[in-house]
Structure 1
Amino acid sequence: MNETLNNIEVAMFYLMIIAYLLSTVMYWLTLVSKKVWLEHLATGITILGLAGNTVALIVRTIIAQRPPLSNGYEFILTFCWGIVAVYLFAEFRYKIKALGSFVMPLPFLLLTFIIMKMGPEERVASAIPPALKSQWLTFHVITAMLAYGAFAISFGLGVMYLLKSRSDDENGKSNAKGWISRFPASQILDELAYKIIGFAFPLLTLCIITGAIWANYAWGTYWSWDPKETWSLITWIIYAAYLHVRLMYGWKGKKAAWMEVFGFLAVLFTFFGVNYLLPGLHSYA
């Protein structure tokens, strides 16, 4: 039974990586082609990849008899799921197909990291460490997954804004040509990034709070300045500063876009740099 489930999980993993690669290529093609069928194909392949991602997580849950949240391989699968799920919501809600060109490479690169850097032994569904045996872990990782996924969307919007704004005149009118002309107006990109961060920031706050409660359960203290905790706080401060200067000082445009980019770089370091470069209580991740 487990062998069959393992084969299904492996098949879903490769379905994901192929689907996310193909969707990236399709979204890139939509920037240079106005064919509607290409846009529909890109979205359809993305949905297929998300379906494979979902099945892989469900199968891993059945195999491990626990939520798939206890090692780096499983965290990356959930991270990919969060990015793609939030992206598809944004695409259907706001009808910005070009955003996929900047978001969908992220889950593909995350899965490529698994292939290049993780051996088979790191992908095995092992017994859960005692420190992870808490329902607070589930809440902690789910909020992180959705927050990080949303921040990936704001990153894509920030990059699009920086590219689009280069062709704007002093009155904000765009003179973009070529594939950049397919982007929405700079003001729309700016406002949407603000909305996405406004959605993600409370989730990041909940992630840190539930993580503190979990830490107290596991290690007897709410906060120990572990590298993961420290960088999570740094990430929170960056996005809190973004919202503060936006609301209090009216920061928009390039300054806000650069904060969106740097904020997501902090997310990536919190996720990868801490787990693989800095020793700490979270090194098992």
Structure 2
Amino acid sequence: MNALLFATTLALYLVATVAYLAYLVKPREALGRVARWILVAGFAAHSLYTVDRYIEAGHTPITNLHESLSFFGLAIVGVYLACERKYRTVILGSFVTPLALLILSASTSFPSAMAPLNPALKSRWLAVHTVMAFLSYAAFAVAFGAAIMYLIQERFLKQKKLGAMYQKLPSLDILDEINYRCLTFGFPLLTFAIISGAIWAETAWGTYWSWDPKETWSLITWFVYAALIHGRLTTGWRGKKAAILAIVGFFVLLFTFLGVNLFLPGLHSYK
């Protein structure tokens, strides 16, 4: 059942991605609805897959890279669907669903077998810390997609090439608003994830902070997004500057999540 649910999810995300990319080429309302409902079906199958693993394992299934990448993809789709419902920007899915598909596909590169929990992971903080972290990551992923769209649209305006693609994309104001709302949603979650992680570390290893590579890069990620939020609130950073920093922040986040795990072994290395 578990393998079937995963395969179904992967197939539905693939079809949804194709539908959203087709919508990018020909933005017809009917095609947008089809793409959305296929993605909703994929999200439902993905949720069932996650719940099934939870029941089988007896703990939150975010304890290895396969599970972590899978949950990251689930969170991205969930946050995106909420964003699409609020802003009615179906075309944003053309930039976000390929990312979710890529992340879920990457999870197949790592063992999916359930292993006994590492002693450090046997804590009530597991669900709190990891779920908050991945929800923040997902919000930043959607902000990343909106930022890419902003730069494309801004370039069209700058070069005065108001062709077909310009007509398809949302206005710069809407894209900047989506970027900002995702940041203000994700940043408090990231902050809480880091704080809860420090509390968890004290119970597991006897210290709140040990400058482990994961902790260090998490703090770097936090400072990048803190700088972006601060700039928006105090110096009026908007538009292109904010979009570029949202993109930079997401790449830093990806290194914190994957790069550190793969290349900088430490207390948080769970493959």
TM-score, scaled to structure 1: 0.92
Match of 2:127 in 1: 138
How big is the shift at 1:196?
A: 1.1
- Contact 2:60–2:126 under 8 Å retained in 1: no
AA at the equivalent of 1:52: A
Match of 2:85 in 1: 92
Could you report, residue by residue, the CA deviation over 1:45-68 in whole angstroms, capped at 9, with x for unpaired residues?
110111111011111011111111
User: 1 CA distance for matches of 2:224 and 2:124?
Assistant: 28
How big is the shift at 1:251?
A: 1.1
The answer as to 2:58 corresponding to 1:72 is no
User: 1 CA distance for matches of 2:149 and 2:211?
Assistant: 35
AA at the equivalent of 1:203: L
Could you report, residue by residue, the CA deviation over 1:134-188 in whole angstroms, capped at 9, with x for unpaired residues?
1111100110111011000000000000000012259xxx753123321111121
Match of 2:252 in 1: 266
The answer as to 2:21 corresponding to 1:38 is no
Q: 1:178 aligns with which of 135, 153, 164?
A: 164
TM-score, scaled to structure 2: 0.97
- Contact 2:213–2:266 under 8 Å retained in 1: yes
Match of 2:142 in 1: 153
- Contact 1:204–1:236 under 8 Å retained in 2: yes
User: 2 CA distance for matches of 1:180 and 1:17?
Assistant: 31
Match of 1:57 in 2: 50
SS of residue matched to 2:62: coil
Q: What are the within-5 Å matches in structure 2 for residues 189-204 of structure 1?
A: 189-204=175-190
User: 1 CA distance for matches of 2:256 and 2:48?
Assistant: 27
User: 1 CA distance for matches of 2:143 and 2:270?
Assistant: 29
CA RMSD of superposed structures (Å): 1.3
- Contact 2:27–2:168 under 8 Å retained in 1: no
User: 2 CA distance for matches of 1:188 and 1:35?
Assistant: 20
- Contact 1:136–1:210 under 8 Å retained in 2: yes
- Contact 2:95–2:145 under 8 Å retained in 1: yes
Aligned residues: 271
Question: Which blocks of at least 5 consecutive residues in structure 2 are unaligned?
Answer: none
Q: 1:9 aligns with which of 2, 6, 10?
A: 2
After the TM superposition, which of the residue ranges 177-186 and 78-87 deviates more from structure 2? Answer: 177-186
User: 2 CA distance for matches of 1:180 and 1:81?
Assistant: 30
User: 1 CA distance for matches of 2:214 and 2:241?
Assistant: 27
Q: What are the within-5 Å matches in structure 2 for residues 23-34 of structure 1?
A: 23-34=16-27
User: 2 CA distance for matches of 1:166 and 1:208?
Assistant: 36
